[in-house]
Structure 1
Amino acid sequence: QEFYAKLSRLMDIARRSLEIKRKVCTKLLNENFYPYTKRYLGNFDSHFSTIGLVGMNEMCLNACWIKENIAGHKGLKFSQEVLDFMREKLKNYQEETGELYNLEATPAESTAYRLAKMDKARWDDIVTAAANDSEKPFYTNSCHLPVNYTTDPFEALEIQDKLQTKFTGGTVFHTFLGEKLPSWQSAAALVKKIAYTFKLPYFTISPTYTICPKCGYSAGEHDACPKCGGKVEVYSRITGYYRPIEHWNDGKKQEFEKRTEYQVSENIVKETFGSSDSGNGGSIGTGLNTKIAPESFVQPTASMSAQCNDKQVYLFTQKTCPNCPKAKEELTGTPYLQVLDAADHMDLARKFGIRSVPTVVVCENDGAYKTYSGLSDIISFKRGLK
């Protein structure tokens, strides 16, 4: 009860801050301080006020009623409850203000270190992601697993799939690899296996690489250039983007040192797409049916006309989508409208190439179709019917 009361108070503070920011930005926009923004956007009505979190794993470790990491049974269950609580509160904010709110796994490139350092100075016995006092303190990003939890990406994905799907804003799972995958086939197989097995909305394939000013690119992390022995820069992904590790803050450098890189099975191509008769023993770069082209991994392969009947209109939604109720309201009275939950109709969503919700699919006479993605496009579509 005390935990949720404190969380609620902090969220209310964040709400007031976001409301002030929205009012100030809108005032400046209307007074032509943002001429290009005003020309292309017109207003901020479709923009979200975002609240995020950092250090869910450390919260579980510090909580006296849990005392285990986020992957444990109690830690995972409580983390899910916290995210549900935050989502419900943001839903109430949205209804009370008429403005859009979302829950996001915010990147926290600097905050993860700064907040941990401040907390450690105030409470010496607080648990951070640092193993001891000789390490720089930092918090694990959003609701991610400890950075050294496992080398199996699919074990990590099983857990993260239960958490990252609860965010209504941006969230991502980074598949950190020590070196690049040896072929496009292995990369395609890994991407397909993740996309078809799990529901989390975004994931990356993130190798580490080294750049020498003279010799250029080398796969993996090297202290010196493997070709000339010269000074190098090691690049890795710091939350959302790549930059040289030497430019990271101390907390993120400590995170990189502790990070366990994922190991991908050499049989993933064969397991995902099947093997040829080449007898190459299932090596990651071989055993792939050569008839499979890269395009077939992302393009629909079934006939659309079988699912797209004359005049039919589909609205694809999801329970966690903040814009979907408004889209349903806008489309009320549309002839031949059928509202579908994308999670319950994955095969149909995949055939239409649905990548986000809300999305409208309008079937035409010849079995072809048009799509309208996002609330603004759907509203424009509805106006065009009048």
Structure 2
Amino acid sequence: MVIKSVNLLQEGQALAITWSNGKTARFHAIWLRDNALDPETRSASNGQRLVTLLDCPENTRIESARAEEQSLALRFLPDGKEVSFPAAWLAEHNYDRIENRPKGWTGEAISRWGSDLASAIPTVDLAAAKNDRRALAGWLGAIRRCGFAVMTGLKPESGALLEVAALFGYVRETNYGRWFEVRSEVNPVNLAYTGLGLQAHSDNPYRDPVPTLQLLACLENSAEGGDSKVVDGFKALEILQKEAPEHFDLLACYPARFEYAGSDGIRLRAKRPMVELGPDRELLGLRFNNRSAAPFTDIPFDDMATYYAAYRHLAEIIERPEGEVTFKMKPGDLFIVDNTRVLHARKGFSGTGSRWLQGCYADKDDLLSTLAAIEEELPEAAE
């Protein structure tokens, strides 16, 4: 990236850059001063800022700016500080753009899917992920892209899933422990061990924040049926927007309530919208769990009936066969979901046998950090 020319604007309060490709970008003096890359401003070891905004003069302006092909040299007033910015860094951090993104947009790294993913489920063997950083990056990248992936080759023994979580981060311990049992039997002595199917849902919507990743490992699955099922909630919301944008807006506008009081001493409650949007209207997450929904008390009377129509509409879309991917887990298999996006379920089963899974939670920021570090180390591993 080469800078062709640079011009001061507003008496040095800003500047304009013209690149060799003809594109332009404007930057404010205070923004440049605050983001200086010199060792007095940024730690060379960890990149953290060593000064506060109050250390930058309030009336900061640019005295001079000189383009040096692949860098930009600046001198600020009133403190006389001199800094240099790589041209490529400025291009990467350009904020001089007008973006009118639609409500519910997602970044380029996100790929929404339906039943078509069944023929191309992202899968890696545990041994490959442990011994090949590129294989691990490919698997983590698939989770970033699809919110779902499978791993094979685990030892079908208690606690084995913790080894998978350790590949990219740490287990998020909850009131359920470091891991929890998902054990079902065909003729159970306790209804907690039922073989009934479960509606597609996200886990722990009554927490704030919710666990952002869930891992489920299979130790035993000798029953007939009981297939696992996943649904891309972002794809379901895309369909909802197309079919009834007013329904999407209602679910994003008003908070729902969720609660859990199933154990002594535990009273978990959260008040969040089912559809979470960022300030720039980016789609950030979906909380959908009918079993954990508390009475909705934050929707006005005049909107409650339509809100329930929107809730039902989304539930109906989630149940459509064209949106689901089903698969049969074998002992030693594990799948992971982005719990802010991908809903998971279980088909019912009958006959003889049992189904024993173990689950744990982890955090997506750990996964994305590990992935970014590998992609920086091995650029060819980047998607």
Alignment TM-score, normalising by the size of structure 1: 0.22
Structure with more of its chain in strand, by fraction: 2
Find the structure with the greater CA-based Rg: 2
More helix by share: 1
